[in-house]
Amino acid sequence: MISPRAMNRRSLLTLASGAALASCRRGAAGEDGVLRLGHFPNVTHVQALVAHQLSRQGRGWFEPRLDMEVRWLVYQAGPSVAEAFFARALDAAYMGPSPLINAYVRSAGREMRVLSGAASGGAALLVHPQSGIASAADFRGKKLATPQLGNTQDVQARAWLRQQGFAVSLTQHEVFVIPTKNPDQLALFAKGELDAVWTTEPWASLRESEHGARVFLEDTTTPVRRLAGRAEVVEGRGARVAHLSSSHLWFSA
């Protein structure tokens, strides 16, 4: 079974090996007997990756425990998940704390509900081998990519840069923070158009193995993943949502 406790990137990568990352089509809103459950193709979503693969094999973990169909939906970053919640296109999802908090604040607490923790750690700041970055001071004037504006790694990167004394905002760019989808980061990093990336697994290890990236710092403690539900679904399907939370915890034990 898979523990949601703090893990380093390598243990997360090992746990998720063999879990397919195929995407799913979006389902119609409010469909009876269907739970639309979202996740990312990242190793920090290891419970969802494995459960999604079990569903494809006809051995679903959640389906018999919820007595309903689980329709898996794949996203690239948390802000996209939040927008899907607001559009009533999603019932529950594994997502990072920053987009979750933003969605909660944006809806004045009416939209989002946290159901359970899921994972900690599994992220890293990596630098290009030709970037010339050897210390925090060397990030001045460099280009650092994050998966999406406002996602957990984007917030982490900006907070860390400010702690190092850099002015980083939408109008000040002592370090250029460039929100870029993880797949697009790979090509830009390979061309040397990015000096550094702050990302999660498996993207971090891909940069190490394919492009010679060096780990500048590794995050093993930040709670990076939560299981969240849309308030309307949590309140309207109370018993089944409770089963979703307990099934997730049993799966993670």
User: Do 152 and 33 share a structural domain?
Assistant: no
81 is a domain residue: yes
User: Do 145 and 92 share a structural domain?
Assistant: no
pLDDT band (50, 70, 90) for residue 31: low
1 is a domain residue: no
Q: What pLDDT digit, counting tens, does each position of 91-120 carry?
A: 999 998 888 998 999 999 888 888 888 778
User: Do 88 and 148 share a structural domain?
Assistant: no
User: Do 117 and 10 share a structural domain?
Assistant: yes
Q: φ, ψ for residue 127 (rounded to 5)?
A: -120, 150
User: Do 62 and 11 share a structural domain?
Assistant: yes
- Residues 162-185, mean pLDDT to the nearest whole number: 89
Total domain count for the chain? 2
pLDDT band (50, 70, 90) for residue 169: confident
Q: How far apart are CA 136 and CA 145, in angstroms?
A: 16
Least confident of 103-107, 114-118, 156-160, 248-252: 248-252
pLDDT band (50, 70, 90) for residue 68: confident
User: Do 148 and 174 share a structural domain?
Assistant: yes
User: Do 93 and 27 share a structural domain?
Assistant: yes
Q: Whole-model pTM?
A: 0.70
Q: Could you tell me the CATH number of the domain that includes residue 179? A: 3.40.190.10
User: What is the number of alpha carbons within 13 Å of residue 7 lying toward its C-beta?
Assistant: 24
User: Do 130 and 111 share a structural domain?
Assistant: no
Q: Does residue 72 contact residue 49 with C-beta atoms inside 8 Å? A: no
Per the structure, the complete domain to which residue 65 belongs is given by 6-121+223-252
232 is a domain residue: yes
